Amino acid sequence: MPDRTRVALDGVPETLLWNLYQRATEARRPDAVLRDPKAVELVDALDYPFAERFGAAALGQWQALRARCFDEEIRRFLGDHPDGQVVALGEGLETQFWRVDNGRVRWLTVDLPETVELRTRLLPDDPPRRRTLAGSALDEEWLRQADPANGLLLSAQGLLMYFEPDQVHRLLATCAQRFPGATMILDGVPPWFSRRTAEGRMRTTQGYQAPPMPWAVDAAEKDRIRAIPNIAGLRDLRPPRGRGPLYGALFPLLNRLRPIRELGVTGLPVMAVRFAR
Ligand SMILES: C[S@@+](CC[C@H](N)C(=O)[O-])C[C@H]1O[C@@H](n2cnc3c(N)ncnc32)[C@H](O)[C@@H]1O
């Protein structure tokens, strides 16, 4: 077996390994709700103690359905804008490009330098269609590299919860002003979840502790987002139907009810925020 790639990440960047592990574990199943062979390849290529650190990947399907919620929105966008650009902020080791590629999309990954160092070793750039930028989503550089000429979709999957609320609001305000007519898809955590991370109570029995997630989403926060200048609308996205009595029957039923969806138990809140033209 070839040498596996050593991983030395901590803090927020390490969370990408939890997501990857859950997704890959689901993708290994014959009845998986997400086809993601690239995620499986990555887990197999990494020298990282996934099971010792995170335990059994009990939330594989939950995580895979969240990823599919983003995938479906990206496919919809590519249906309208086959030559459009997707900017994936905080992409970590997401393998979404390989799930949704239409052969024409241009894809820009933006992540912190330590994450990009790992990502580009495993998933080298393939310009001009697929490029990676090392830097913060809160910096200016990626805004200059985003290209709305053939349609632009911004994606922040598993990222904004790690920011302070005013950082999220400023980022949305900047994007809305810079990219009229574009959309950002994003997810968040509900307030109870955010509080638990602040108190250090989001941890696995193996001792891995999730970092604080200061930005939380509830109905009031959605109203604050809608009130940001140049934001034309905010739409909740519902995870697709999954497998088994919970994900295949109960959760889809409960997810029809907004107040239950906002509790974040049946799936974390995912939204599409549309910028005014
Ligand atoms: C929970 S992971 C999500 C990874 C991926 N989007 C997914 O859903 O699997 C959080 C990601 O955000 C990245 N990140 C943290 N702070 C960032 C920042 N200021 N700008 C860009 N990326 C950031 C981390 O490096 C990591 O890749």
Task: Give tens-digit pLDDT for 130-189.
Answer: 999 999 999 999 999 999 999 999 999 999 999 999 999 999 999 999 999 999 999 999
Separation CA 114–CA 8 (nearest Å): 9
Percent of the chain that is helix, strand, coil (3-state, to 5)? 45, 15, 40
pLDDT at 60 over 70: yes
Q: Whose CA is nearest to atom 27 of ligand 1?
A: 92
Question: How far, in Å, CA of 193 to CA of 213, rounded?
Answer: 8
Contacts of 194 (CB under 8 A, 6+ apart): 161, 213, 214, 215, 216
User: Rounded mean pLDDT of the chain?
Assistant: 96
Q: Domain locations in the chain? A: 5-54, 68-275
Enumerate residues lining ligand 1, CB below 6 A. 12-13, 15-16, 19, 89-92, 94, 110-112, 115, 136-138, 157-159, 162
- CATH code of 68-275, in short, is 3.40.50.150
CA dihedral 96, 102, 103, 106 (to 10 degrees): -60
Q: What is the spatial distance between Cα 140 and Cα 147, in angstroms, rounded to a whole number? A: 14
The alpha carbon dihedral of 216, 222, 225, 230 has a sign of positive
Residue 37, helix vs strand vs coil? helix
Atom of ligand 1 nearest to the CA of 92: 27
Q: Which residue has the tokens 């490009």?
A: 97
